[in-house]
Amino acid sequence: MTADNFAALLVRRVKRVSKDERNVWNNDVLGNICFEFFVYCKARPKAAPTHHRATATRIRTATRAVQQYQEENNATLGPITFNHVVTTHARQPDNTAFAIPEDNTTRQAIALDAAAAQISAASTSEPQQHIASIRLEVNGTWNSFRVDVASLRHALGLPAHDIFTQGIFHGFVPVDAPVQDLNDIDHMQHQDLGAEQEDTQHTRYSMEINTEHENTTNINE
């Protein structure tokens, strides 16, 4: 049954109404014609999810793909960029070939890795200074004194490293993937899940046509 042949099928069904039923309709102005239709809908094919959750298993698979890319292209990604592209690739559909994303986030990650490498190289080439000179006023006269940098930092309550080139803001520690994977359908919208459940069930439609006495008379004729 389709939208095109629905009217023809309805007329055919009305013609099968018995004479006794028509007499009842003629005597009851508010009489109703009620037909029940049982329509069985074919289940729609389930579309493959476009994106996945970055679970621990998919992170490991994506890591191997990125490592293979580095070997084949003789390239080395920084830790920030590596973690970003691995997570991004883990969310892609299955059988997606790996490629460096061309988005602002990836470019920012590359820039951060370059800046971190530059700072690391500068701090390595210039050994940390343990002795420094400071100026103090003693009895109205300014004098230079040599002090131990570590003890001065401790006295002032400062970290025991250069806060401009080291510390928590200059290191990158990627977040560990969860040990237990979650179901990949958890990210789907509620309406998508409802549509899948409807596809597995038969839908029953009931149509009730309210007609006036005048329309019933036309059918009898």
What pLDDT shows up at residue 206? 38
Task: Return mean pLDDT, the chain.
Answer: 75
Q: What is the pLDDT of residues 108-154, one digit of tens each?
A: 999 989 988 887 776 666 556 678 888 989 998 999 999 888 888 88
What pLDDT shows up at residue 15? 81
Residue 200 has pLDDT above 50, yes or no: no
What pLDDT shows up at residue 69? 95
In the chain, where are the structural domains located? 6-41+202-220, 56-170
What pLDDT shows up at residue 20? 78
Task: Report the largest interatomic distance among the alpha carbons of the chain, rounded to a whole angstrom.
Answer: 127
HEC-encoded secondary structure of the chain = CCCCCHHHHHHHHHHCCCHHHHHHHHHCCCCEEEEEEECCCCCCCCCCCCCCCCCHHHHHHHHHHHHHHHHHHCCCCCHHHHHHHHHHHHCCCCCCCCCCCCCHHHHHHHHHHHHHHHHHHHHHHCCCCCEEEEEEEECCEEEEEEEEHHHHHHHHCCCCCCCCCCCHHHCCCCCCCCCCCCCCCCCCCHHHHHHHHHHCCCCEEEEEEECCHHHHHHHHC
What pLDDT shows up at residue 183? 62
- Range name among 2-11, 61-70, 95-104 with the lowest pLDDT average: 2-11
Whole-prediction pTM: 0.48
What pLDDT shows up at residue 63? 94
- Range name among 28-37, 58-67, 134-143 with the lowest pLDDT average: 28-37
CB 153 within 8 A of CB 162: no
CB 31 within 8 A of CB 24: yes
Could you tell me the pLDDT band of residue 208, with boundaries at 50, 70 and 90?
very low
Q: What is the pLDDT of residues 177-186, one digit of tens each?
A: 666 666 655 5
What pLDDT shows up at residue 83? 93
